[in-house]
Amino acid sequence: MATGSLGGVLLAFDTATPLVTVALHDGERVVAERLSERPMKHGEQLAPLVEAVLADAGAVRQDVTAVAVGAGPGPFTGLRVGLVTARTLGLVLEVPVYAVCTLDVLAVEAVETGAVAGRFLVATDARRKEVYLASYDDGVRVEGPVVTKPAEVASDLPVVGEGPALYPEAFPRPGGPTRPSAGWLARVVVEERAELLDPEPLYLRRPDAVAQHAPKPVS
């Protein structure tokens, strides 16, 4: 997608972390950006934040010509709020929906702001003492994303994301942003700085459920 080809505005949001980030891009630049204040309230905060960025930019819903969403990986509940919102907005506004791996957004911001260069990793919180991890070369993903234990992927490379703050022994060299921003997500999509995906969640984990083999006694 070439710069300025959007015509109207691109609405971008990411819900793959505890916070919700929302931005509007007019094809030239980010014209509005907001971040939620309360963690783990994706379902309550996303729609009002979308309304707010539209109002901030003096835009209306009919101006939205594309939607961009972070596909994760991230905690499932919040991730789904972002994806179902993006898909449904795409349907009702009759506009395309683009998804980007949330780790790629962090990587592009880290490279563009000069925080890292060459080889580096992005590691975010996957809870359960694990991280979501991908490796990059000059901002291009070369491996991952995977979900893994920090000790198994300990590295002296610079690490973008919350990983180094959570697991300093595994990741001693922090660098770049710790959380994704929707403004950068919008730039990544408008400038096609990363692979554009279908809006499918990157769960990386199966649901916790145990198949039943035999009827259990009830008494």
Partner 1 sequence: MSDGPLVLGIETSCDETGIGIVRGHTLLVDEVASSVEEHARFGGVVPEVASRAHLEAMVPTLERACEKAGVRLSDVDAVAVTSGPGLAGALLVGVAAAKALALGLGKPLYGVNHLAAHVAVDQLEHGPLPEPCLAMLVSGGHSSLLRVEDVTTGVEPLGATIDDAAGEAFDKVARLLGLPFPGGPHIDRAARSGNSVAIDFPRGLTARRDLERHRFDFSFSGLKTAVARWVEARERAGETVDVSDVAASFQEAVCDVLTRKAIDAAVTQGIDDILIGGGVAANSRLRAMAEERAAAKGIRVRVPRPGLCTDNGAMVAALGAELVARGRTPSALDLPADSSQPITTVVA
Q: Which is nearer to partner 1, 58 or 207 (CB)?
A: 207
Nearest CA-CA partner of 101 in 198, 3, 1: 198
Nearest CA-CA partner of 15 in 77, 61, 107: 77
The Cα-based distances of 188 to 92, 105, 122, 143 in angstroms read 24, 7, 16, 19
Output the smallest distance, CB 144 to partner 1, in A. 22
Q: Which is nearer to partner 1, 45 or 102 (CB)?
A: 45
Binding site for partner 1 (CB under 8 A): 41-48, 50-51, 61, 76-77, 80-81, 83-89, 91-93, 201, 203, 207-212, 215-219
Q: Which is nearer to partner 1, 8 or 43 (CB)?
A: 43
Count of Cβ atoms closer than 10 Å to residue 47 Cβ: 14
Q: Which is nearer to partner 1, 27 or 78 (CB)?
A: 78
Output the smallest distance, CB 123 to partner 1, in A. 24
Between vectors from CA 209 to CA 205 and to CA 210, what angle results, nearest 5°? 130
Output the smallest distance, CB 35 to partner 1, in A. 16
Output the smallest distance, CB 48 to partner 1, in A. 5
Q: Which is nearer to partner 1, 47 or 115 (CB)?
A: 47
Output the smallest distance, CB 94 to partner 1, in A. 9
**3-state SS class at 82:** helix
Q: How far apart are the first and last CA of the chain?
A: 63
Name the maximum alpha-carbon separation found in the chain: 68
